[in-house]
Chains A and B, each alone.
Chain A
Amino acid sequence: MELKRVVVTGLGALTPIGNNISEYWDSLIHGKSGAAPITYFDTSLFKTKFACEIKNFNANDYFDRKEVRRLDRFAQYALVASDEAILDSGVDLNVVDKYRVGVIWGAGIGGLETFQNEVIDFAKGDGTPRFNPFFIPKMIADIAPGNISIKHGFMGPNYATVSACASSANAMIDALNYIRLGYSDIMVTGGSEAAVTQAGMGGFNSMHALSTRNDDPQKASRPFDANRDGFVLGEGGGALILEEYEHAKARGAKIYAEVIGGGMSSDAYHMTAPHPEGIGVIAVMKNCLENSGLKPEDVDTINTHGTSTPLGDVAELKAIKQVFGEHAKNININSTKSMTGHLLGAAGAVEAIASILAMQNSLVPPTINHETADENIDSELNLTLNKPQKREIKVAMSNTFGFGGHNACVAFKKMEE
């Protein structure tokens, strides 16, 4: 059977460097860091005291008091980002066939703060299990797509993908495939995360995964720099409206880009460490090229997973050289995590959005905070260091990899009739 073509017709973002798409893009091209001391809780006993929190976000501006209490922050971010994307798409909710509109959403963890606080309360008590009735429905990762569908009445496929930091990339690929196969006309997809909590910071700290550059948070996320010392935890949400091409054309929708394919693979190696030869990462980019009908030379930019960890960054760049050969030098490689921090399950979505906006604007956002070259990184690669670079982009790829060895890669192409 012939696969349907799929296009992006709406975008939404709530990120540490901007609370909507235009603010997000403006910060990306100006190399703005979202890192700052944590405001949510007292960090005096924590090894890492900073993160990329959402700024100037007041849930009461978006939800009534009762809704705020029923929604963990990760679900609030999901609703805010998806609302922006739905509005942006111009879909008329009164005429669209809602059985043909689904929601597939990524969250690596879900309502971590809800889980943490309920368990703290329980532990303070006398052992009587007095859990709030909203504990479970607030915490579960799939409540984000559940709430999006409840709000808008979307009755198509609805679930969450959980593959740690690859979650929303997996969500986008699933959404793409449902439309390709003709099961849905429109999919609301993306991801959200809100893990800047005591449990989140403490947990990642104990893995030695986070940067501890407490004296200079804004310089801490420095992918590919020789002195990188771990990732910076971020939070937020990113949403994309994927739509079957003819459906979009028929309603005269504006089209950002075509989603031409996705790759998926597993390292099958270690719970958290990347495979030193990057075999799973090589496989995922090859899968993505094949699934998208691309040759390596077609690719203009790659928004890397590039988390600013010592092992991961080197392994990913080695894998890019393996897959793209000589052409690797011609690719604009970047890591927008240098600015946003690592949004975990939302990373795939916000980074794909960055790639799509780069394509739209013919401008690749920089990898900021690069000061010292790493001798383990090929100096011939163009890592888009510190300043944005002009570039006509026909094809952009976005990589994300998650603890558990999950790899996902999505490819977008400039729209052609």
Chain B
Amino acid sequence: MSDIASRVKAIIVDKLGVDENEVVTEASFTNDLGADSLDTVELIMEFEKEFDIQIPDDQAENISTVGQAVSYIEEAKK
């Protein structure tokens, strides 16, 4: 797992209170990991803080799975 992926995973485990094993690439924040609309906003903000990036709202709407978050951040950090 890349460094980014493991940091993303750690944030999700912490904020959503889920088990590490559940945080797989295809897992959806809302459908699989029990996030509600507020949790999702908080996750995005945590990603911004952790990786020192800005994720505009229209981009954030497209980040709904663990894999999408990792790819977005990897792209942004290039």
Contact = CB atoms under 8 A, between A and B. Distances in A.
Interface of A: 64-67, 69, 130, 132-134, 137
Contact of B16 (A66, A132, A133, A134): A66
Interface of B: 15-17, 34, 38-39, 41-42, 45, 49
Q: Interface centre among A67, A134, A137, by most B CB within 10 Å?
A: A134
A65 B14 CA distance: 8
21 contacts: A64-B17, A65-B17, A66-B15, A66-B16, A66-B17, A66-B34, A67-B17, A69-B15, A69-B17, A130-B45, A130-B49, A132-B42, A132-B45, A133-B38, A133-B39, A133-B41, A133-B42, A133-B45, A134-B38, A134-B42, A137-B38
B54 to A, nearest CB: 10
Contacts of B45: 130, 132-133
A134 B15 CA distance: 12
A136 to B, nearest CB: 10
Nearest to A136: B38
Nearest to B16: A66
Pairs of residues from A and B, 10 with the lowest C-beta to C-beta distance, nearest first: A66-B17, A65-B17, A133-B41, A133-B38, A133-B42, A64-B17, A134-B38, A66-B16, A132-B42, A130-B45
Contacts of A132: 42, 45
A69 B38 CA distance: 12
A65 B41 CA distance: 18
Contacts of B16: 66
A243 B41 CA distance: 41
A66 B29 CA distance: 14
Interface centre among A64, A67, A69, A133 (most CB of B within 10 A): A133
Contacts of B17: 64-67, 69
